[in-house]
Amino acid sequence: MIINEKADTLNMSLEVHMKHNASKLVDGAREYIAELSCEDLDCSIKLYPETKVFDLKLGSYQLSSPNGLLAEVGFYLYVIEARILTFVPWHE
């Protein structure tokens, strides 16, 4: 709910925390092709009237195939701040 239109007033905040998640990719015959798993996912979104702030933190992830481990990352931090500008047409 928007009560105040000041640029620094928080309109909405959403946080998601996940300890562990894993997904498997299978082919048409249901044969296992790859698996992606991640640990300690934290993400938040804060919406202000003129600014949107996204914060994503991932503790680690692994990508594996039936032949073994393909990729592994120990820590990843990514922060995006995006300012949304409203353009008003200029009339002479």
Q: 38 in a domain, yes or no? A: yes
Q: 6 in a domain, yes or no? A: no
Tens-digit pLDDT string for the chain (92 aa): 455 566 678 888 999 998 998 899 899 888 889 998 988 888 888 888 877 888 878 788 899 998 999 888 875 555 555 554 444 445 54
Per-residue model confidence (pLDDT) at position 15: 92
C-beta contacts of 78-84 below 8 A and 24+ residues apart = 79/54, 79/55, 80/53, 80/54, 80/55, 80/56, 81/51, 81/52, 81/53, 81/54, 82/51, 82/52, 82/53, 82/54, 83/50, 83/51, 83/52, 84/50, 84/51, 84/52
Structural domain count, the chain: 1
Per-residue model confidence (pLDDT) at position 88: 47
Q: 5 in a domain, yes or no? A: no
Q: 20 in a domain, yes or no? A: yes
Per-residue model confidence (pLDDT) at position 42: 86
Containing structural domain, residue 58: 12-83
